Amino acid sequence: MKTKPEPNRRFSVAPMMEWTDRHDRFFLRLISTHALLYTEMVTAPAIIHGKRDYLLGFDEAEHPVAVQLGGSDPRELTEAARIAEGYGYDEINLNVGCPSDRVQSGRFGACLMKEPDLVADCVAAMATEVAVPVTVKCRIGVDDQDPREALPTLIEKLRDAGCRTIIVHARKAWLEGLSPKENRTVPPLDYDLVYEMKRTYPDLEICINGGIATLDETKTHLKHVDGVMMGRMAYERPYVLADVDQRLFGVTTPSRTRHEVIEAFMPYMARRLEEGVTLHAMTRHILGLFQGLPGARAWRRHISENAYKKGAGLDIVTEAVNKVREPDLETHSAD
């Protein structure tokens, strides 16, 4: 029986391996209070056997935050979900969309599009054990599947297994012949099919993902589906999130300027440096913050050339930020 409230999924930042780690999420949270943030995918065996605090630890300020699990063994996933729930995540999400070789060899990720019964078993098993919602992120199909069959088949089985929320990356994955990167650009996007899923299954929460670059586009999608998940743009140009609270969640107070974001990130970085985290591990996520402003390139360069050095401290960030001019009246028009 569910006891935890559903997080608001109107706008979320996608799970991205190597990118949406805890430092990135803390940083993004300084730009938007309401966007739902996803972790990188963590495999169930890693959670069960690996360094849990390292894999799952996060800062309270990151809420609302969802953990994405990788796996296809209902028993393992259930154990991993229980452990993750204990860390305080607001949602458990299962990865049915990631096409990398490493992921396929473990029989999880996008290849599970071909095993909808197994996915439904995994979700049902997890949902009986945890009080937080269990969701799925999938593709519209893989390889020679017909998305018009594969996607509704998966969705119906998930619905019957008690899953209420499905996030659809609106393109197929080709498991052979394309790299993971190509699988995020080459297969064509089919937003209409995702819209159709919402019309066909109105009781389910359907969120759309793939190629969404602005908040104007987000608003258009929200006329057809319940939520939008943004990936690469939110990482590469994080200030696109600056208007999310106001335009999508009705917040009336202004969000932080870019310089205020850095100022607010400083105490966090100081704490983590004391714990032995390197400056580079954190600053690598913030390079795109000033994109489009005079001095943005100098900011990037100063950080890239210095943050990785042994003993690098916050003075590097202060020096870099002094190279950027921010308009006095910030317009937040990154979108």
As annotated, the active-site residues are 98
- Least Cβ distance, residue 156 to ligand FMN (angstroms): 21
Q: Is there a contact between 20 and 68 (Cβ–Cβ < 8 Å)?
A: no
User: Toward ligand FMN, which CB reaches closer, 287 or 316?
Assistant: 287
Output phi, psi for 290, to 5 deg. -95, 10
- In the complex, the residues that contact ligand FMN under the rule CB under 6 A are 14-19, 40-41, 68, 95, 97-98, 137, 169, 184, 209-212, 230-233
User: Toward ligand FMN, which CB reaches closer, 68 or 306?
Assistant: 68
Helix and strand numbers, DSSP H then E, in the chain: 15, 8
d(CA 161, CA 271): 43
CA–CA distances in Å: residue 124 to residues 119, 121, 145: 9, 5, 24
CA–CA distances in Å: residue 246 to residues 3, 41, 252, 266: 29, 29, 6, 25
What is the residue type of 55? L
User: Toward ligand FMN, which CB reaches closer, 98 or 261?
Assistant: 98
User: Toward ligand FMN, which CB reaches closer, 141 or 306?
Assistant: 141
- Least Cβ distance, residue 39 to ligand FMN (angstroms): 8
Beta bridge partner(s), residue 37: 13, 65
Which residue number places its CB atom closest to ligand FMN?
231
- Least Cβ distance, residue 34 to ligand FMN (angstroms): 18
- Least Cβ distance, residue 203 to ligand FMN (angstroms): 24
